């Protein structure tokens, strides 16, 4: 085994697209890899100091979409360009924004699945940011990605994951097993 010390290398990492409204009511989006499920109905996100952070100071609601192969280039773009520096940021993505049904935040319809979220707690707040714990108020899934069983067809979404070691985006693959089931073979 080779040692690498302390790195932000929890694997695999998501590519979360956080949607908020700017002060003038226009939509904004940023990319976040450091986030995940927090208890059954909550999500956590490590938030730095961005235009998004300012938006969340005004309104504690946001959306989270999961990036896909098709949205990869624009998803990276919203992770390297701030709305603070580019007033055309969202026009450049080509994404379509509609208002979320249950929170005051934009839903980008280019993504198969979006969480509507409301901040419950800001943990470890410093001038450099904080960790958000937010309630998942509702989940929206484009009908195209609802399977025959009436549930989201995750395999069909062509989701991507962030590789923090080489700063890449990797395509998620096909289903290879049955959770809470295949392991029983070794019981």
Name the residues that contact ligand FMN, by CB under 6 A: 28, 30-34, 46-48, 50-52, 76, 79-84, 162
DSSP secondary structure code for residue 144 in this structure: G
In terms of CB distance, is 48 or 147 closer to ligand FMN? 48
In terms of CB distance, is 110 or 145 closer to ligand FMN? 110
In terms of CB distance, is 145 or 159 closer to ligand FMN? 159
Q: Which residues contact 30 (CB under 8 A, 6 or more apart)?
A: 17, 18, 50, 51, 52, 78, 79, 82
* Residue 127: half-sphere exposure toward Cβ, Cα within 13 Å: 0
Name the minimum Å distance from CB 150 to ligand FMN: 32
Name the minimum Å distance from CB 16 to ligand FMN: 7
Name the minimum Å distance from CB 175 to ligand FMN: 25
Other beta carbons within 10 angstroms of residue 101's beta carbon come to 10
């Amino acid at each position: 085994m080779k040692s690498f010390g302390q790195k932000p290398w929890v694997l695999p990492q998501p590519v979360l697209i956080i949607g908020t409204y700017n002060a003038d009511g226009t939509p904004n989006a940023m990319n976040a890899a450091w986030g995940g499920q927090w208890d059954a109905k909550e999500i956590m996100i490590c938030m730095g100091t961005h235009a998004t952070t300012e938006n969340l100071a005004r309104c504690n609601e946001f959306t989270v979409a999961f990036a896909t192969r098709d949205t990869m280039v624009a998803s990276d773009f919203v992770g390297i360009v701030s709305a603070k520096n580019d007033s055309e940021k969202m026009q450049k993505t080509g994404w379509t924004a509609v208002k979320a049904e249950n929170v005051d935040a934009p839903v980008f319809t280019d993504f198969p699945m979006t969480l509507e979220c409301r901040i419950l707690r800001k943990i470890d707040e410093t001038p450099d940011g904080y960790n958000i714990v937010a309630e998942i108020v509702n989940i929206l899934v484009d009908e195209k990605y609802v399977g025959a069983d009436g549930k989201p067809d995750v395999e069909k979404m062509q989701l991507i994951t962030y590789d923090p070691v080489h700063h890449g985006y990797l395509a998620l693959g096909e289903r290879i097993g049955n959770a809470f089931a295949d392991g029983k073979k070794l019981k």
